[in-house]
Amino acid sequence: MTRPLRNLISAVTLAALTGLLVLAATQWTDVFFRFYPAFSRWILGVLAGVTSVTSFPIWEPGLCLIVLWGIISLIRSLVHHHFLRWLSGLLLTLCFAAFFFMTVWGLNYFAPPMSERLGMETQERTAAELREVTAYFLQKANETAPLVERDAGGVIAASDLSQLGKQAGAGYETLAKTMDCFDGSTARVKTLLSSKWFGKTGTTGIFIAFTGESSISSTTFTASVPFTMCHEIGHRMAFARENEANFAAFLACAASADARFTYSGYYTAFLYCYNALRKVDAAAANEVWSGACGELRADCAAANSHYKKVEDQKVSQVTDKIYNSYLQTVGVESGRQSYGEVVDLLTAWYFSQEATQ
């Protein structure tokens, strides 16, 4: 049997196994997800432990080496007339990558809603209820905004990303004491070597399941940095959907003893709720915004100015379309809009808290 044929058979086998895993996750959801999230957190924790030996994301130079090796091997295959062997090898590599990705993390996209796992009830809310929730998060943002260090212009002062990255998991450690779904790795969040390029795409952070690394771009606006770090750790906690990683980040920030994380959590929660309210009742949104404190207003204005300088609109639009297609491929029908769906979870959390008081 020739090597191209062996590679092809192996690739088809891996593709079939990947398909069977997805079938099991979607058809026997209740049984499958009794154990899979815990398994995913465990194996991601092992990977994160191994890759935590470096202060930079290992996957970045690793990806460069893989691409370089692919180009060199392609040239060699053309020179030695082994192109079919190279092509079948590439197919096998891609099928193995897809199988590994789904095995260690990707199947979490098909998990039951986070609200079910946390015992919350999400439901359609009225504009008045959304206004109430938005006003609550504004109040909390107003309360915590003065607690963080600020520069001469009143804008939140920059913090050392390395230090914050090491502290980002503290909130999850607190949550894990009462909720098993947050007992995953809290290894430090690393700063991307290619932050400038990621900034152009509008990407503030990224989680790589192959290495278990949660990373952040240094171009992320300071007020959003702690939340974004917790968001990427949230993915490592086996919450694949963006709205659920957002909500996990909010809970972790709220549970943190560090004012920078607490403020970042309420700051971001307010912005998500405010933007949602504007879509259904702009007048109510403006009324709520009128109660924003000076520090919060300064941060929001500075954030808008910051991202106008950092982002490249054309590059951002292209990457948005690519990521939107990826999310829809793994079953997230709303694509990138799923980030904003965290409002449903924030609203459910707010009313569940109100019910217990």
Mean pLDDT, residues 183-193: 97
Phi and psi angles of residue 207, each rounded to the nearest 5 degrees, phi first: -115, 130
pLDDT digits (tens, 9 = 90+) for 114-138: 988 888 888 788 889 999 999 999 9
pLDDT digits (tens, 9 = 90+) for 213-255: 999 999 999 999 999 999 999 999 999 999 999 999 999 999 9
Hey, what are 33's tokens? 């997800």
Q: Where do the structural domains in the chain lie, given as residue ranges?
A: 3-110, 123-355
HEC profile of 7-66: HHHHHHHHHHHHHHHHHHHHHCHHHHCCCHHHHHHHHHHHHHHHHCCCCCCCHHHHHHHH
pTM of the model: 0.94
- Residue 338: the pLDDT is 47
Would strands 205-208 and 213-216 be described as parallel, antiparallel, or unpaired? antiparallel
Hey, what are 330's tokens? 């793994």
**Would you call 309 exposed, middle or buried from its count of C-beta atoms within 10 A (0-12, 13-18, 19+)?**
exposed
